[in-house]
Amino acid sequence: MEKIRMQVSVINDESKLVYHNPIVIPPSTERVCVGYSYSPEYGDEGARNEIDLALAASGKDIGTRGSDVWNVEVSESYSTDGFIRIKPEGVWDVMIIRGKLFSPEIKVVLEIGFEPAVRRYYKGDTHAHTVNSDGKLTQEALLKKAKKKGLEYLMVTDHNRPAVYGLPAVKGVTAIPGVETTYFKGHANFWGKEKPYEKSFALNTLEEWRRLRDEARSNGAIICVNHPFCSMCPWRWELDPDDFDAVEVLNGPARDDTQKAVEWWEARIKEGKRLTPVGGSDYHRNYFVVSTLGIPVTYVYSRSGAASDILEAVKEGRTAVAVSMRHGLIDLKCGDAVVGDTLKFTGKDEVKISVRKLKRGERLVVINGGEILFEHTAKRTGDYSVSVTPVKAGAVYAKIVNRYRGVKRLLFDIVLSVMLPSQAFKKHGEYVFALSAPIWFE
């Protein structure tokens, strides 16, 4: 973390109440930390000198706290109480505010740290509900649960209920507003805006939904079709890939319904449709003692953990999906290019595929232009990497396939008997357990 140290002399002169200290935020800063101290803390007859801290940007207040709080942090995802959440950029004013002084001069020391943004995969869940629709947890409780499970971001997507009053801040997990437009004809997530549309969600036709979607999209929202082949609540309208930015290829555990969604997504990718693959738990409540939050998990290759960067990365197609955090994250790189990028096809470029926690018996399959380019079945559990050379233009992506066996199959059928009884204790084929978004070659 880059740090600067400043000293400010505050004179016991009532004509000057505020001491301004402009600072330039370094590029790609994710979080600013400001600490201060002063001496003497006590003046005549033991009375305490009063020195407060305030922050502003572009002439607008970020926040202020009295001298009961000596250290504050500010970021887009989380800020100390009394300070707004804001992306650190531009020029900020670190202000020293004098109160009652009992000494002729006060020396104030400011220590300001700039935590840089780190481009990496951030793990989270794109689909979860609270008491604002039919979930069992409050927004704050849900976010705390996400943090406890090791998730780094969470998209809160209540049924037909946008987060119009904002989401609470929980340190360590980025809260991203969303809404799941929910009808008998289909469900779709609108991500990224507390109020994606002005009028009511209530409608009857696909054309009306498209007008609602267009308004939300024009306001900056990202649109995802949810569990399009779910046995209970599929997308019953025309399933047009041009209606969406993303597809929920995994919803809950891998099963027949999710396999159909993956296969539909793969067919669209072969056609050249750039739809971002995501996974969402559709969390409402625990099932007995089992928490499905983060099952599956969506990894987003983002410039930082800020909501704006995570959303931008989703829009750009920089994702990987796995049925849980215990299954493999598939990472693709070609030189400096990552998933979501487009390269000119040369027939000479090497794409490196790296998998974390490829489990024994799982099969890694690499697809190029809709055809299998490479396959590998793991003989033991561990990290695995391989480099392949695309032989044709089109999308290059990877997936992990496996089937439930032994105790896992029994547990899977028991879970299905509660959630989807019609699919329990039947013959099951191979399912996709993890999937990467493509690198595109043209």
pLDDT mean over 84-111: 94
> For the domain that residue 254 is a member of, what is the CATH number?
3.20.20.140
Question: Does 194 share its domain with 266?
Answer: yes
Question: Does 31 share its domain with 104?
Answer: yes
Question: Does 130 share its domain with 81?
Answer: no
Q: Give the H/E segment covering residue 406.
A: helix 406-419
Q: For residue 60, what are the CA distances in angstroms to 9, 83, 197? A: 24, 12, 27
Higher pLDDT, 159 or 286: 159
Buried residues in 315-353 as b, exposed as e (16+ CB within 10 A): bbbbbbbbbbbebbbbbbbbeebbbbbebebeeebebeb
Question: Does 149 share its domain with 252?
Answer: yes
Question: What residue type is 369 in one-letter code?
Answer: G
pLDDT of the residue at 294: 93
- The residues facing 93 across adjacent strands are 22, 56
3-state DSSP of 345-371? CCCCCCEEEEEEEECCCCEEEEEECCE
Question: Does 195 share its domain with 291?
Answer: yes
pLDDT mean over 316-323: 97
pLDDT of the residue at 403: 84
pLDDT of the residue at 413: 62
pLDDT mean over 145-149: 96
Q: Which residue has the tokens 């993303």?
A: 246
pLDDT of the residue at 61: 96
Q: Which domain holds residue 101?
A: 2-116
Question: Does 197 share its domain with 326?
Answer: yes
Tell me the Cα Rg of the chain: 25
Q: Looking at the predicted structure, is the pLDDT value of residue 293 above 90?
A: yes
Answer for the pair 226, 189: CB distance below 8 angstroms, yes or no: yes
Token couple for 5: 């140290």
Token couple for 301: 């290759």
Q: Which residue has the tokens 């191979």?
A: 430
pLDDT of the residue at 363: 96
pLDDT tens sequence across 378-424:
999 999 999 999 999 999 999 999 987 766 766 766 677 677 777 76
pLDDT tens sequence across 24-77:
999 999 999 999 999 999 987 889 999 999 999 998 999 998 777 889 999 999
DSSP 369: T
pLDDT of the residue at 426: 74
The fraction of the chain above a pLDDT of 70, given in percent, is 97
Among 10-24, 237-251, 287-301, name the one with the lowest average pLDDT: 287-301
pLDDT tens sequence across 252-266:
888 899 999 999 999
pTM of the model: 0.92
Q: Work out the angle at residue 435's Cα, subtended by the Cα atoms of residues 233 and 341, and round it to the nearest 5 degrees.
A: 115
d(CA 347, CA 4): 49
DSSP 423: G
pLDDT of the residue at 164: 83
Helix, strand, coil shares, percent, the chain, to 5: 15, 40, 40
Question: Does 304 share its domain with 321?
Answer: yes
State phi, psi for 47 to the nearest 5 degrees.
Answer: -75, 140
